[in-house]
Amino acid sequence: MSPRRRSKAPTLRNLHTRRPKVEIFATVIEQGTIDQAKALASLPFVYPHVALMPDAHVGMGSAVGTVFGTIDAVIPAAVGVDIGCGMIGVRTTFTAADLEGRDLTQLRDAIEASIPLSPGNYNDWALAGTTADVRTRELSTLAEATGVDLSHSPKWRQQLGSLGGGNHFIELCLDEEDTVWMFLHSGSRGVGNKIAQQHIRAAQEHCAKHWIRLPNADLAYLVAGTPEFDSYLADLAWAQRFAWLNREEMMDRFRAALADFLGAEVVEQERINCHHNYTVKEDHYGRNVWVTRKGAVRAAEGDSALIPGSMGTASYVVDGRGYPPSLASAPHGAGRRLSRTQARAAYTAEDLAERMTGIVYRPGNAWVDEIPDAYKDIDQVMVDAEPLVKVRHRLRQVLNVKGT
């Protein structure tokens, strides 16, 4: 039997005379997180370096809270399976006085009735004539124009305007001047997950086919000049747009529920929508690179961004400083300290209720793994982030809605 011949891989020039370094912006960080960043930095196409945000912790592919640039290659698992996950926030003209004497459980129930929560729960009503219809038509046009195949998700339209579970949430908050804010955290839902899984497998097959040695399989990559690379970028852009519009759709429904609850139109003073799991082309250190932010927001000078705390803790509205070593990035939240299994073993629904004193939410065991104790201290994260962003508003929650 003749020996198996190795397929010739597309050439990737090593960009470095030495391996790129890892910039760490976290005071509290696990060695496993640093090890993941070093493994990522060892890849020949990473440029200029890997930056670990103040909330960084171990994740799949790369640590959550990782930012890095690549030239002529992308790593699907480093973006993750919730492509385009991010935040949207609206500053209203309402104040705490407008909420006084009102039963916020009624608003909670109205939100839960208008926005499907939890994995697998989608819209079951007709789209015709709705804002969701307009948005799904835009997405259909984009898919057709860029060759995105959505046959793996025949009900993707029903997913637009749905929250999901885990750490995704809808909140009513007050800032330091008692102004009412609407906050929401979600991504590209099931359709984005399927897109990600498909291309993670393609990257692993590419590396196996070309006998490419990797620090770990989750760092499998796709190379420019191949059909797989082009297909991923088209699908990635589509999923990121879906996530953006998904948040816009839910915020519009949240806004309608709040208007009905208060009996007055919601006047928006500001709306901020930002990804924190995505890849985009940017210029850094003299090169045009693919920047991947896995659990990090863009914080270029002039950018506004949202950094939520964990369930029951503070959230922040910030402006970017454009700090070059962070690749113009900032943390995306508090960052997990305990796994969900560890949190459930250590805490109870009663513990969560104590942490949520003064905040309206739906009590129960389903959200114990989201207890603030399972996350890092958001205030310490923001101290570490001082070189990266300027804090404009610090928010406190008065209402929290989550899926399971």
Q: Residue 2, SS3? A: coil
Dihedrals φ, ψ of 362, to 5°?
-100, 105
332 a catalytic residue: yes
Tell me whether residue 170 is annotated as binding.
yes
Tell me whether residue 335 is annotated as binding.
yes
Give the residue from 313, 327, 324 showing the smallest Cα distance to 382: 313
Tell me whether residue 308 is annotated as binding.
yes
Upper half-sphere CA count for residue 71 (Cβ side, 13 Å)? 18
The residue annotated as part of the active site, out of 49, 199, 206, 332, is 332
Tell me whether residue 294 is annotated as binding.
no
Give the residue from 214, 192, 190, 188 showing the smallest Cα distance to 203: 214
Helices (H), 88-176: 96-99, 104-114, 131-146, 156-159
Give the residue from 79, 78, 28 showing the smallest Cα distance to 56: 28
Q: Residue 83, SS3? A: coil
Tell me whether residue 309 is annotated as binding.
yes
Tell me whether residue 315 is annotated as binding.
yes
Tell me whether residue 185 is annotated as binding.
yes
Tell me whether residue 82 is annotated as binding.
yes
Give the residue from 281, 255, 284 showing the smallest Cα distance to 269: 255
Tell me whether residue 332 is annotated as binding.
yes
Tell me whether residue 334 is annotated as binding.
yes
Q: Cβ distance 346 to 282 under 8 Å?
A: no
List residues forming the annotated binding site for Mn(2+). Answer: 82, 168, 185, 276
Q: Which residues are catalytic?
A: 332
Residues of each annotated binding site for GMP? 167-171, 276-277, 308-311, 315, 332-335, 402
What are the binding residues?
82, 167-171, 185, 276-277, 308-311, 315, 332-335, 402
